[in-house]
Chain A
Amino acid sequence: MNLTTGFTTITFSDVWHVMAPELIMILAGFAILLFDLFVSKGTSRRLSPWLGVVTVIVAIVLVIRNFGVVAAEGPGQLSNMLYVLDDYGNVFKLIFLFGTLFTLIMSIDFFKKNPLVAVPEYTYLLLFGTVGAMTMASAFDLITLFVGLEILSISSYILVAMRKGNSKATEGAMKYLVIGSIASAFVLYGMSFIYGITGQTNIALGGQMIAQMWMEMQPVLLLGFLLMLVGFGVKISLVPFHQWAPDTYEGAANPITSFLAVVSKAAGFALIIRTFIWGFAREFGELYIYLAIFAALTMIVGNVAALAQKNIKRLLAYSSVAQAGYLLIPLVTLGKGTNEHNIWLALGETVFYLAGYLFMTMGAFAVLTAVTREAGNETIDAFRGLYKRSPFQAVAMSVFLLSMAGMPITAGFFGKFYIFLGAINTGLYWLAALLFVTSAIAFYYYFGVLKAIFAGETSEEGTAVPKLGLPWSLNLIVWIGLIGTVGLGVFPNLFLDVLNGLHWFG
């Protein structure tokens, strides 16, 4: 069959087969939109988050079902590989969906405290954004990739701005929008060159063409690759394309910040890995060095920039920048050989780390929400004496921070260790060492927060300190985060074995 010119008929069952979770999410999104039109404002406010939660849970179930489908029938595809169904997509989708689920649950508390927020819009934008992310994980064509990227991005811009009347939120959204759109332009521009040389928008076919044309058209292909890298780099906040992140993270509402940090970033990685592995696999031995430099730069600058940071959200933003550096390493290792095992290993590392990152980031933002709200500011000082006020939150926050810092028996540590093993495996000793050396530098600021939590005195000893409560929704997220972080850290095999059983690609 001629993939470029042939026409195929697509039935709904085919579509359902491949993209059931996405469809459910889209339909539910529109349903909430309509629902909002027909019911009273109060009901809509109350019910739409729950509708969202239910939708996401259903989508999760469907994704899990898709694992079975892939296992039984092999990977599926839609419309000349415009969209594929494989475990690579599934596993990323799970991360997105759980991220969205946790975001939604956290948002319930956020809605309560912020009556001005348009809850239904918020909810369906979140769902749409997630659909965009899911598209990025499953798309197999530059067009679908770009569409997915933009769905996520545009939804995110609005979500950041959703805190009505909050100047910081709109400013953050504006910054995100400007930089994000420029990045989109870079991506599109880069894609145009790739397309121009290969004549393909399909990644796999494009990859074949690239391999053929590489010798001849290297500068243009490289130009396309690098332009795309810059654009993607903005989305996953690689240094020096990261500067929007602290401002946007600070401006956005806490649930949205965690959504950006987790879902948006994970989606970016899904996209990058899919594109680069399929599109540039054969040339990766030459290209990986650029990624390696970005990884190193991101780890160093991300961690160093956080040192002087006193605002906890900005600090976490820098931390998440640094995490992007760590996460890039598995992809870099593929430059030293793209055999199947290496790819599987690299994907396993990325997904494991992202899973751990999901739990620790969500948990940290849940605690942060409660603490900063009570303190009325977002500086580290808000955490002073937290251990006295709420030992549970203090301990939970410590676990999350330690996990981010890469201290043992946490998911963050094992994730790093796993990435580290991959780097050593391919002989990238320097990058492996840098991974843990920059982590050691990061101790400085993570432990700075920890010290505030444990060492800080809010008041004279002996006087009663007001206890700090935790709304049930945040509490739930903290517990999930805690269990996930420690569980993945202590029994990584629970997840590793799952990852090892996957049929990543066709």
Chain B
Amino acid sequence: MVEYAWLVPLFPLVAYLLLFVLGRRAQEGVVTAIAVLASLAAFVVSLMILSEVQANGPGAPYMFHWLTVGSYTLSMGYEVTALNAMMLAVVTFVSTLVFLFSKSYMKGDERFVVFYQYLSLFVFSMLGLVISPNLLQVYIFWELVGLCSFLLVGFWYYKPEAAAAAKKAFIVTRIGDVGLFIGIMLLFVATGTFDYAGVFQAVESKNFAIDWISPEAFITLVAILIFIGAIGKSAQFPLHTWLPDAMEGPTPVSALIHAATMVAAGVYLVARAFPIFAASETALTVIAVIGGITAIFAALIGLTQNDIKRVVAYSTVSQLGYMVMALGVSAYVASVFHLMTHAFFKALLFLAAGSVIHALHHNQDIRSMGGLWKKMPVTGWTFLIGALALSGIPPFAGFWSKDEILLGAYASGNTLLFVIGLIAAFCTAFYIFRVFFMTFTGEFRGDKDTWDHAHESGPVMTIPLVLLAIMALVSGLFNSPVTDYALADFLQAGGLHYGAHPEHVSWMPYVATLVALAGIGLAYLMYKTKSINPERLANGALRPLYNLSYNKFYVDEIYHYAIVLPVVWIGRILNFIDKWIVDGIVRLVGQGTYVGALGLKYAQNGQVQTYGLITVLGAVVLLGAAMYAIGGVR
């Protein structure tokens, strides 16, 4: 089956093309059926591949010739490794459920079919990204998923915020992409190939066709450049700002792209190219630090946000920070494991949030929610499961993977990172339960009309929720003592021996659970029992901190004033220079010539004696010059 891995992305592609051909006339049911079936078929094939990889180990890459450049050949192809197989399954699973969910969520939208086109295209691109055997191909699909993200964030194109968010998402990630671009260009120049295998080999032998930099420094440089790509895509600090804004897109999009799959691509890429990173201690340190900063930074912002989707979005950024940090401390398995579990529970949280939003007519502000448990029990339950998984409460999925990461951080000997991880875990538990309590418990704070119309979503929406909730419950077990750490073995079957399960520290599960419970408890006190008044805290001693968090540490503002405005001003200045100096000189020459022409014209004053005078003057100058030239009259 592994040799048929190309089928997996093919299904969504076919779905895309079909939907494209069908156009807007297609009925919603037909559209959904096509998309869901394609995705489902991809999922089935993925599962078959997964089982085969588990049984026989990863297969060799399949390559075909794409372009000849002088004496080089660029190839395209596909490859299934353990990591790929896992990613295929996760992506197709989540996408199938999101496709299903969207049928109801997007019902009645005039561009319903377009939505599914984009989604299918996205799934195709994401799967293509996953099975790419070389960095160029990765980059191609990397950009395509970025495009789909752009299209879907800006799906409601008539909303200016959506348009702005889409543009921001594309441009900010592109800044990272350029880093990746430079990285793979340099790698190609140095190694003559884009293929992972060839690149890894060259990295191992430190044999590069480049002389302006030492091989070690080169590896570090390239690793960091590739990581810059991951920073952009996985919304790591300092390029994280696009992800919360991307919540302007429809919620299923947020669930699929901005939580479960695309944003994990950065983590996936680093994991996939891990041998390059493993060869550079400096690069790993950078990664770990960036991951740690992101984890705590986003978690702190998440504490105070009021938009239900934004809270979940910041939690995504924070969790991605965890994964990146894990990679930085060489906890490879932990990172990938968390990637998987996160995909399930974060998709779950988003879809549940989507269900709430759908029920409340696209109101997303948790301050005007409350008491929805009564109206939407299924959503409530599933959200709760997701929240528990996110907080890392055993036996939910998040517990197992987060525990691994904390272990890895601890094992790396970097205490600071470990502490950061713990604090972030506390914050995570706090803010997600803040949302939970404010949404599902207490009294409804919105207008009555909305309350009356609020109701549990239909089965099309609840079935995906339930399925994801189940995964959020059980997926943690894949890499737990229960299954004897099956995932670790599976991932390492391909010959990657990084971050084997770190030695267990007996107190770790307890500490982690306690921290999470403490966060939940605080949220309970503040938002359920109201024993602590959050507003007094916010307006009291903690006001500066609150403002900082509420305003996202002013990062957007800083970027606006430090980068965007200066660049625009440079553009304006250059435009001015172009218009008045560069072209000005051209026009000056032109008009100067014309003025000269006018001068010559008016020198022609009609007086024959003037003409004679000028003639004679010319003659005199000529004679004078000539005599001067020959050294004077002797």
Contact = CB atoms under 8 A, between A and B. Distances in A.
Q: Do A and B come from one complex?
A: yes
B615 interface: yes
Given A219-B633, A441-B593, A175 B608 contact: yes
A150 to B, nearest CB: 18
A186 B619 contact: yes
B213 interface: no
B597 A305 contact: yes
B623 interface: yes
Interface of A is mostly: helix
B508 interface: no
A197 interface: no
A244 B626 CA distance: 25
B545 to A, nearest CB: 69
A227 interface: yes
Nearest to B598: A308
Given A219-B633, A223-B623, A226-B622, A244 B597 contact: no
Given A186-B619, A230-B619, A290-B622, A219 B614 contact: no
Contact of B618 (A179, A219, A240): A240
B608 A306 contact: no
Contact of A243 (B611, B626, B633): B611
A243 B611 CA distance: 6
Interface size class of B (residues with CB under 8 A): 20 to 34
Interface string B585-609: 0000000011011101101101011
Nearest to A247: B606
A390 interface: no
A174 B611 CA distance: 12
Given A219-B633, A223-B623, A307-B597, A234 B604 contact: no
B630 A306 contact: no
A290 B626 contact: yes
A193 to B, nearest CB: 12
A219 B619 contact: no
A243 B614 contact: yes
B634 to A, nearest CB: 7
Given A175-B608, A230-B622, A307 B617 contact: no
Interface string A156-198: 0000000000000000001100110011001000000000000
Interface string A296-307: 000001001111
Contacts of B611: 175, 179, 243-244, 247
B593 A304 contact: yes
A224 to B, nearest CB: 11
Contacts of A226: 619, 622-623, 626
A182 B614 CA distance: 12
A227 B615 CA distance: 12
B612 interface: yes
Interface in A331-370: none
Nearest to A220: B633
Nearest to B613: A243
A359 B468 CA distance: 90
Contact of B615 (A243, A247, A304, A307): A243
B627 interface: yes
Contacts of B604: 243, 246-247, 305
Interface in A442-500: none
B630 A219 contact: yes
A478 B626 CA distance: 45
A118 to B, nearest CB: 25
Contact of A308 (B601, B610, B616, B626): B601
A306 B606 CA distance: 16
Contact of B608 (A174, A183, A218, A246): A174
A222 B626 contact: yes
Nearest to A175: B608
Contacts of A301: 600
B181 to A, nearest CB: 42
A309 interface: yes
Contacts of B593: 304, 307, 441
A241 interface: yes
Contacts of A175: 608, 611
A226 B622 CA distance: 8
Given A226-B619, A226-B622, A182 B627 contact: no
A200 to B, nearest CB: 23
A230 B594 contact: no
Contacts of A247: 604, 606, 608, 611
B602 to A, nearest CB: 9
A241 B626 contact: no
A309 B594 CA distance: 10
A470 to B, nearest CB: 31
A227 to B, nearest CB: 7
Contact of A179 (B594, B615, B626): B615
Given A186-B619, A226-B623, A230-B618, A178 B601 contact: no
A174 B597 CA distance: 25
B617 A219 contact: no
A222 B630 contact: yes
B622 A308 contact: no
Contacts of A219: 627, 630, 633-634
B586 to A, nearest CB: 13
B615 A241 contact: yes
A183 B614 CA distance: 13
Which interface residue of B593, B598, B606, B608 has the most chain A CB atoms within 10 A?
B608
Contacts of A241: 615, 618-619
Nearest to B593: A304
Given A182-B615, A243-B614, A290-B626, A304 B596 contact: yes
Contacts of B617: 240
26 contacts: A175-B608, A175-B611, A178-B612, A179-B608, A179-B615, A182-B612, A219-B630, A222-B630, A226-B619, A226-B626, A227-B619, A229-B622, A230-B615, A230-B618, A240-B618, A241-B618, A243-B611, A243-B614, A244-B611, A247-B604, A247-B606, A290-B622, A308-B597, A308-B600, A309-B601, A441-B593
Pairs of residues from A and B, 6 with the lowest C-beta to C-beta distance, nearest first: A307-B597, A308-B597, A305-B600, A243-B611, A240-B618, A175-B608
